[in-house]
Amino acid sequence: MGLLELLFGQRAVAQPNPPRAHVARAVEIMRAANPNALIGYERYLVVMIEDVRDPDGRLFRIEIQSTPDGQHAIALVRYSPWGSTSDAHCLSGVICLGPNGHGSNVTSSPYALEVVIPRARFWCVAVSHFHETGEFPSP
């Protein structure tokens, strides 16, 4: 007798993988960007957590949150080797992605997932450059 059967009084049946059409567009974009990233659902959002290295090998952990269709996304810093998740062009962990890109509300973000992923990765490199030189580079 399995744990689910003990808890719910019924035999657990393995569910088949959902048909490809049911996979959110955001998941497809995230898997294409990094097949090794942790990707899942949190409430109504699709979330990707990945580690990004700067050219000197410093490791950052970022989280990308997106609407399932990939049309609205934001990026957050979960770990920075510089010690703070509130840093240059970052407020309370939310990475500034450009003009009007400071908000933490995913659905009101003007940036699509395909834009957010490379900009968040660039931020990791740029903030290291900022700490080394005092200047934040432009993309």
Instruction: Give residue-wise pLDDT tens across range 95-131.
Output: 888 776 667 889 999 999 999 999 999 988 888 888 8
Given a cut of 90, whether residue 135 has pLDDT beyond it is: no
Angle, CA of 42, 91 and 81, to the nearest 5°: 85
- The dihedral region occupied by 87, where left means phi > 0, alpha psi between -120 and 50, and beta the remainder, is beta
pLDDT number for residue 1? 47
Residue 94 covered by a domain: yes
pLDDT number for residue 80? 87
Residue 84 covered by a domain: yes
Name the residue range of residue 59's domain.
21-133
Q: Are 66 and 79 in contact (CB under 8 A)?
A: no
Residue 13 covered by a domain: no
Question: Within 10 Å of residue 43's Cβ, how many Cβ atoms?
Answer: 7
Total domains, the chain: 1
Residue 81 covered by a domain: yes
The answer to pTM > 0.85 is: no
Residue 16 covered by a domain: no
Residue 128 covered by a domain: yes
For the chain, percent of residues with pLDDT exceeding 70: 74
Residue 14 covered by a domain: no
Angle, CA of 29, 21 and 39, to the nearest 5°: 40
